[in-house]
Amino acid sequence: MKQEPVRPGEVEPPVVPAPVARRRGKALEQAIFEAALDQLTSGGFARMTMEGVAGAAQTGKAALYRRWSSKLELALDALAFTLPPTTDIPDLGSVRDELLRLMGGYQSAMDSRGGAAMRALMAELDHDRSEVVSEFVMNRVIGPAREAVLAVLRRGERRGDVRPGGATELAADVGMAMLFYREKFGGSPASQDFTVDLVDQVLMPMIRPAA
């Protein structure tokens, strides 16, 4: 409806802001996770607060405490929300091509906002709580990654481009260990060139059949 112009002597009516749609269910949960990740990546775990997350998600603090008893529980669920789903690498006919795809995917995940939030969380926690985070990382990141690499190596062993007995947990752990090391101590995120070098100079010599 068209608003009538204000005549001389009349008081202009106040502008009433449109009500903010109240989020519920999955929409509210996603907004909370996004707010938690923003706080983790911008200020770290020490500065993350339930009040700050609630305000950014446009909800009340009570809504958070109904779901999570502490900010650590919320932070871990927010990380789980952002982790990429575990997917099987299709048979590309070459263990090198399959490892490149896997390592490239893990590198991208580490370079994402979720990866940055995970590093911030791990860097600031005291010993008691770090055990909880370490268990989370092992169960949700390292374990699934190990199984994915092992599946590629076992397929390569059957195909003949991995030496007999080369599909071991040690071989599967090396790639992720190198990526974590580079991300934490390398001074800059791992590049695509690093991922290629990791596969060609470290992983392939470990598993390649003898000439």
pLDDT tens track for 25-80 = 789 999 999 999 999 999 899 899 999 999 999 999 999 999 999 999 999 999 99
Q: Specify the pLDDT at position 20.
A: 45
If asked whether residues 88 and 191 sit together in one domain, one would say yes
Confirm whether 107 is domain-assigned: yes
Residues 121 and 44 in one domain: no
**One-letter amino acid identity for 30?**
Q
DSSP string, 148-180: HHHHHHHHHHHHTSS-TT---HHHHHHHHHHHH
Residue span of the structural domain in which 34 resides: 25-78
- Confidence class for position 196, pLDDT limits 50, 70, 90: very high
pLDDT at 4: 57
Same domain, 70 and 168: no
Total domains in the fold of the chain: 2
Tell me, yes or no, whether 115 and 63 share the same domain: no
Q: Is 20 within a domain?
A: no
Higher pLDDT, 84 or 104: 104
Answer yes or no: is 184 within a domain.
yes
Position 119 in a domain: yes
Are 91 and 156 in a shared domain?
yes
Q: Rounded mean pLDDT of the chain? A: 86
What are the pLDDT digits (tens) for 146-174?
999 999 999 999 999 999 999 999 999 99
CATH code of the domain covering residue 43: 1.10.10.60
Q: 99 near 203, Cβ under 8 Å? A: yes
Is there a single domain that holds both residue 148 and residue 52?
Answer: no
Buried b (16+ CB within 10 A) or exposed e, 168-188: eeebbebbbebbbebbeeeee
- Long-range Cβ contact pairs of 139-143 (< 8 A, separation 24 or more): 140/79, 140/80, 140/83, 141/83, 142/173, 142/176
CATH number at residue 176: 1.10.357.10
pLDDT of residue 22: 58
Q: Which of 11, 43, 78 is the last residue of a domain?
A: 78
Residue identified by tokens 């992983």 is 203
21 has pLDDT over 90: no
Q: Give 208's pLDDT tier (boundaries 50, 70, 90).
A: very high
Shared domain for 95 and 154, answered yes or no, is yes
Backbone angles phi, psi at 100, to 5 degrees: -60, -40
> Which is more confidently placed, 64 or 182?
64
The residues, ordered by sequence, that sit 6+ positions from 134 with a Cβ below 8 Å of its Cβ are 122
> How crowded is the C-beta side of 94, counted as CA atoms within 13 Å?
7
Task: Express as a percent the part of the chain with pLDDT over 90.
Answer: 55
pLDDT-wise least confident of 11-20, 41-50, 172-181: 11-20
Position 211 confidence tier, pLDDT thresholds 50, 70, 90:
confident
Among 42, 62, 78, residue at a domain's last position = 78
**107 and 71 housed in the same domain:** no
Statement to judge: residues 70 and 119 lie in one domain: no
Are 84 and 109 in contact, with CB atoms under 8 Å apart?
yes
